[in-house]
């Protein structure tokens, strides 16, 4: 009888055991047990739990945790549905499994999947493949054919022999079995004093229960060493489900006109019957942008960094301010995603200079031109801008910072 899914599972469920009671010695303990380390902004165990609790065929879930880890687990897992329970794990993986199996007695599930809590990349289709291969007499496990050539080492560190890899597989989890069969086998193994089996397929083998191999996944790695955790975090860094730390800043500036023959806007000198008055070159667009950039990392405003009272900024070209703000952003690890400036003036006309302004900003910020937008509008002859007493500018900048949004 093949176990049907998903319809039949609503009645006789398929349970899952997630093993998370180990100490993670090989990964190093400095940051706590590996199942609670954060990858892609969440604890390893939270990813693993999600994979099972969101799978439509899985009913009750038992998580084996270490007696010292109650607080770590609740913090990592957050609010959980009632069908997820925890049990205290044992001294070995096998003992933890045995204790978790007993916690399922009240459910009497048809089958149980037993999974390493430190394999967070298990996916729904692999779970489906394992479930589909279990029947009354057979267990199932995901595995990958070994692809490297295998060598046995001699005592002196040289190669003693080359082992044929034909038929060899690397075993993964979840490993699935008919519940009654694996529970009884675990009981027998435990009572026989055998506590050294490293996976459940090995216990099944000891009890002559045939186990089918289904295709595993190279992504379904077990996080064993510190490097595995680092790599897993890197991998999740690009995931759409993680929340990148994107910040937006805005800026606003106004300068009034005085007699002159040109204005400087967004780094471009434009002939005009007046000039803008100010301590520096009075480039409103760049001043607004400087504030917008500084705002993304809480670094104050243009006046904080370039006090108007300081004589060294007299007549300064304002690209200095923008470049300084961009440097502060970068020193905080930020990468500028885009900059958008709106110039508000009746004259001069901005359109003919837009390309040159975009070019100038692209150089100042070190980003491509399609990440820069220069817009202009008149003020419909209203207010100080309408009376041509000055020019205003607003700017928005988006910057992506490293890490994750705080929760």
Binding site residue list? 253-255, 279-280, 287, 301-303, 377-380, 384, 387
Q: Least distance from C-beta 22 to Mg ion, angstroms?
A: 5
Cis amide leading into 259 (omega within 30): no
The SS3 call for residue 393 is strand
Q: Least distance from C-beta 199 to ligand CTP, angstroms?
A: 9
Q: How does strand 14-20 pair with strand 111-116? A: parallel
Partner touching 21 among Mg ion, ligand CTP, none, CB below 5 to 8 Å by kind: ligand CTP
Paired strand residues for 215:
143
Q: Least distance from C-beta 223 to Mg ion, angstroms?
A: 12
Exactly one of 103, 118, 134, 399 binds ligand CTP (CB under 6 A); that residue is 118
Q: Least distance from C-beta 33 to Mg ion, angstroms?
A: 11
State how far the Cα of 389 lies from the Cα of 378, in Å rounded to an integer.
13
Q: Tell me if 278 contacts ligand CTP by CB under 6 A.
A: no
Residue 14: name the closest of 138, 143, 110, 79 by CA: 110
Q: Tell me if 174 contacts ligand CTP by CB under 6 A.
A: no
Q: Least distance from C-beta 23 to ligand CTP, angstroms?
A: 5
Token pair 């930020």 is at which residue? 334
Exactly one of 224, 338, 362, 379 binds ligand CTP (CB under 6 A); that residue is 224
State how far the Cα of 35 lies from the Cα of 24, in Å rounded to an integer.
8
State how far the Cα of 241 lies from the Cα of 222, in Å rounded to an integer.
21
Alpha carbon 359 to its chain centroid, in Å, reads 34
Exactly one of 37, 55, 93, 353 binds ligand CTP (CB under 6 A); that residue is 93
Partner touching 20 among Mg ion, ligand CTP, none, CB below 5 to 8 Å by kind: ligand CTP
Residues 87-126 that bind Mg ion (CB under 5 A): none
The interface region with ligand CTP, picked from 3-11, 115-123, 234-242, 355-363 by CB under 6 A, is: 115-123
Residue 385: name the closest of 333, 344, 351 by CA: 344
Please report, to the nearest 10 degrees, the dihedral formed by the alpha carbons of residues 358, 353, 383, 274 taken in order.
120
Residues that bind ligand CTP (CB under 6 A): 19-26, 35, 64, 89-93, 96, 116-118, 222, 224
Residues that bind Mg ion (CB under 5 A): 22
């Amino acid at each position: 009888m093949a176990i049907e899914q998903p319809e039949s599972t609503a009645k006789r469920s398929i349970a899952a055991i997630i093993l998370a009671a180990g100490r993670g010695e090989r990964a190093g303990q400095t940051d706590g047990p590996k199942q609670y380390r954060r990858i892609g902004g969440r604890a390893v165990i939270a990813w693993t739990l999600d994979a099972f609790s969101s799978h439509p065929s899985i009913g009750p879930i038992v998580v084996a945790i270490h007696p010292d880890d109650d607080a770590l687990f609740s913090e990592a897992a957050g609010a959980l549905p009632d069908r997820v329970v925890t049990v205290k794990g044992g001294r070995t993986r096998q003992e933890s499994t045995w204790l978790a199996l007993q916690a399922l007695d009240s459910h009497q599930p048809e089958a149980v999947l037993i999974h390493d809590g430190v394999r967070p990349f298990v996916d729904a289709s692999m779970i489906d493949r394992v479930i589909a291969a279990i029947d009354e007499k057979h267990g199932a496990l995901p595995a990958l054919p070994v692809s490297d050539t295998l060598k046995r080492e001699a005592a002196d560190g040289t190669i003693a022999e080359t082992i044929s890899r034909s038929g060899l597989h690397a075993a993964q989890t979840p490993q699935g079995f008919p519940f009654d069969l694996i529970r009884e086998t675990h009981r027998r193994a435990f009572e026989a004093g055998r506590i050294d089996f490293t996976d459940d397929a090995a216990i099944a083998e000891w009890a002559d229960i045939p186990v089918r191999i289904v295709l595993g996944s190279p992504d379904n790695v077990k996080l064993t060493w510190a490097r595995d955790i680092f790599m897993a975090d890197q991998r999740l860094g690009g995931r759409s489900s993680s929340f990148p730390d994107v910040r937006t800043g805005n800026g606003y500036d106004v300068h009034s006109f005085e007699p002159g023959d040109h204005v400087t806007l967004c780094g471009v000198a434009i002939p005009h019957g007046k000039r803008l008055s100010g301590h520096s070159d009075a480039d409103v667009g760049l001043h607004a942008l400087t504030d917008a950039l500084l705002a993304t990392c809480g670094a104050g405003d243009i006046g904080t960094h370039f006090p108007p009272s300081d004589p060294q900024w007299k007549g300064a070209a304002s690209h200095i301010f923008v470049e300084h703000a961009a440097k502060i952003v970068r020193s905080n690890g930020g990468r500028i995603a885009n900059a958008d400036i709106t110039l508000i003036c009746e004259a001069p006309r901005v359109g003919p200079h837009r390309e040159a302004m975009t070019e100038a900003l692209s150089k100042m910020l070190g980003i491509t031109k399609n990440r820069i937008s220069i817009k202009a509008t008149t003020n419909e002859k209203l207010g100080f801008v309408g009376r041509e007493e000055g020019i205003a500018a607003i700017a928005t900048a988006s910057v992506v910072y490293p890490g994750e949004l705080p929760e």
